[in-house]
Chain A
Amino acid sequence: MGGRVLDRVVNVAGESGKIDPMHQFQIEPLFGSENWMIGGYNLAFTNSALFMMVVLGALWVFMWGGMKREVVPGRWQMAVEGVTGFVNNMLTSSVGPEGKKYVPLVFSLFMFILMANFIGMMPFGIVPGVHPFTVTSHLTVTAVLAVLSFGTVLVVGFWKHGLHFFSLFVPHGTPWWLLWLIPLIELFSFLIRPFSLALRLFVAMTAGHVLMKVLAGFVINGLNAEAAWVPFVVSIPSFILMIGITLLELLVCAIQAYVFALLTSLYINDAVNLH
């Protein structure tokens, strides 16, 4: 969001004087890095960058613990092999034997999104001064991930098939009198893919976190109310609802990562096998 949006968010928060559900998405420079400039661009080390590093670290530790190549795998190695086998299966079933080449790419996308979603849901806020941040709740980050997926499809498609890749826009069995319309629709649905990939992930995470913060606001404002009955009628039901919504959000975190990886593998199938 731009500066104007942030001003408005702050204004809305100031007017109500209550909990601001959008504040959690604010990007702030950390460790006094707000004046780091390279070539006229401000390259501050932000909380977004910090949490990307945390995700990378968690992913690295997870993989490092499971890559010992023991003959009889322990629990950790089983967990890692379970995830790699899952991505491997997904690609073999949607792309075929050629899908094996794309396992590292789809695995990296899947695990980065999964870890970022989960780490954004973790209750780091109970440590004073620590503000958890969900990396995937920003369109810039999810758009880069979507461009990675879409760019792979373009590069692979044109590399393997050359200009014949455009036959993707004319499905088999198209009647000749629809040849003017079907390619247009197919082209449109092809070009909208990166936007739908990026928007889905970004909005799902943003909406979930806003909902959580609004419910948390109900709990806290109910506890601060003057009338004695308010905490029982408002705070406690909201808190119970929040526990349920948290579980739902954890499910959504996993489903969104899965959907992103699944759609990426389907798009790769289009590029490799052309319908």
Chain B
Amino acid sequence: MDAEAAKLIGAGLAAIGAGLAAGGVGNVFGSFLQGALRNPAAADGQQGRLFIGFAAAELLGLLAFVVAMILIFVA
């Protein structure tokens, strides 16, 4: 296979990671909402933890994006 083509295919495969991270972020917010609707009084106190979970899940998707960018522009 041509090296350039392999790079572009790899960058496309990295997009799978971004999609999976989208599922992860959705899971974080969905689970938070489930818990918050059961006990709305406790929801406000957990917003910090919500955003920590969001940040951790999102970072992995962003890393997939970095991999794609490195494959296209740097490697």
Q: Which A residues are within 8 Å of any B CB, using their own CB?
A: 1, 5, 8-9, 12, 22, 90, 93-94, 196, 199-200, 203-204, 206-207, 255, 258-259, 262-263, 266
Confirm or deny: B42 has a beta carbon within 8 angstroms of a beta carbon on chain A: no
Confirm or deny: B54 has a beta carbon within 8 angstroms of a beta carbon on chain A: yes
Interchain nearest-CB distance for A27 vs B (Å):
16
**By DSSP majority rule, is chain B's interface helix, strand, loop, or mixed?**
helix
**By DSSP majority rule, is chain A's interface helix, strand, loop, or mixed?**
helix
Instruction: Check B58 against A200 for contact (C-beta < 8 Å).
Output: yes
Instruction: Check B48 against A90 for contact (C-beta < 8 Å).
Output: yes
Instruction: Check A203 against B65 for contact (C-beta < 8 Å).
Output: yes
Residues B51-73 near A (CB distance < 8 A): 51-52, 54-55, 58-59, 62-63, 65-66, 69, 72-73
For this complex, 29 residue pairs linking A to B, each with C-beta atoms less than 8 Å apart, are A1-B73, A1-B74, A5-B73, A8-B73, A8-B74, A12-B73, A90-B48, A199-B59, A199-B63, A199-B66, A200-B55, A200-B58, A200-B59, A203-B62, A203-B66, A204-B58, A204-B62, A206-B69, A207-B62, A258-B51, A259-B52, A259-B54, A259-B55, A262-B48, A262-B51, A262-B52, A262-B55, A263-B52, A266-B52
Instruction: Check A263 against B63 for contact (C-beta < 8 Å).
Output: no
Instruction: Count B interface residues, CB 8 Å.
Output: 15
Given contacts A93-B48, A255-B54, 5 further A-B pairs with CB under 8 A are A1-B73, A196-B59, A200-B62, A203-B66, A255-B51
* Contact partners of A196 in chain B: CB under 8 A: 59
